[in-house]
Amino acid sequence: MSNDGLKSAYELAMERFKKKDAETGVERTPLTEAQKAAIAEIRSFYQAKLAELEILHKSRLRGMAMMDPAERDLLDDAYRRERERLASERDVKVEKTRAS
């Protein structure tokens, strides 16, 4: 980056991260086109799974007209856990793809 003009907080933070990475020996290599395509496919797949999960959750909620609040909490908790599991699974696969 050039030293001319003011820098945004984002630019300053990125410079600090790059400096810290250089000091600790962390080396960043750019992703290949194949890696980018694989990551995009992984993200697309999990985005679809999350959308499907949300639709099913909303459908279950609508199907239970007079729902007990405790039962609704159980459904919401299960939905939240499943979302977290899918997001975690997605992130692990993306990191494996980046590392390969």
The single residue listed with the structure tokens 């750019």 is 30
Q: How many CB atoms lie within 10 A of CB 22?
A: 11
> Does residue 62 have a pLDDT over 90?
no
In this predicted structure, what is the pLDDT of residue 99? 87
Confidence grade of residue 82 (pLDDT, cut at 50, 70, 90): very high
Confidence of residue 64 (pLDDT cuts 50, 70, 90): confident
Distance between CA 40 and CA 58 in Å, rounded? Answer: 27
Structure confidence at residue 4 (pLDDT): 67
In terms of C-beta distances under 8 Å and separation of at least 24 residues, what long-range contacts does 19-22 make, across chains too?
none
DSSP classification of residue 30: P
- Domain boundaries defined on the chain: 31-99
Q: CA of 56: how far to CAs of 34, 60, 61, 63, in Å? A: 33, 6, 9, 10
- Closest by CA to 49, choosing from 5, 3, 82, is 82
